[in-house]
Amino acid sequence: MATKKFMYLNRKAPYGTVYALESLEVVLIGAAFEQDVSLAFIGDGVYQLVKGQKTDGIGMKNFSPTFAALGDYEVNKIYVEKESLEERGLTLEDLQHLVWEDEDDDYAEKDSIRLVNRSELADVLDDQDIVLSF
């Protein structure tokens, strides 16, 4: 089976709607099919990656720890749009530190998050075979 480039584009904040959780579920299912998977977080989607989420008080599942598992599924291209962070008063320091282990480099731990500006992200999107927007 030919490998295709799948992009999951995340635009929604984590708990106000079910989109963020649904996207993550689809990514995990898709990862089992050994496709070339990327994720991008733009707009309110960047809020999904904010570290220190504690949902006990609202009675909802905190799914943010799942992002840390994506590296084990060889999902290690996670694009975050710089402009979206800035508009929200956020920096990379406010986000989870997501890493993956590179088998071809003696299992060296490498960063999964790639900070890109809007025009760089446009090029990344242009390079995909399939874009799924959540």
Residues that bind another protein (CB under 8 A): 13-17, 43-44, 47, 50-58, 60, 62, 64, 87-90, 94
Task: Write the DSSP assignment of 41-101 as a string of letters.
Answer: E-GGGGGGGBS----GGGT----GGGGGGGGGGT---EEEEHHHHHHTT--GGGB---EEE
- Which residue, 77 or 81, is less far from another protein as judged by CB? 81
End-to-end CA distance of the chain: 26
Question: Are the beta carbons of 91 and 49 closer than 8 angstroms?
Answer: no
Nearer to another protein, 16 or 102 (CB): 16
CB of 113 to another protein, least distance (A): 16
Dig out the tokens for 102 from the structure.
């590179």
The token pair at 2 is 């030919």
Cβ proximity to another protein, 60 vs 68, nearer residue: 60
Query: Looking at beta carbons only, is 61 or 123 nearer to another protein?
Result: 61
Task: Provide the minimum distance between the beta carbon of 15 and another protein in the complex, in angstroms, as a whole number.
Answer: 6
**Nearest approach, Cβ of 93 to another protein (angstroms)?**
11
Number of Cβ within 10 Å of residue 81's Cβ equals 20
Name the minimum Å distance from CB 129 to another protein.
29
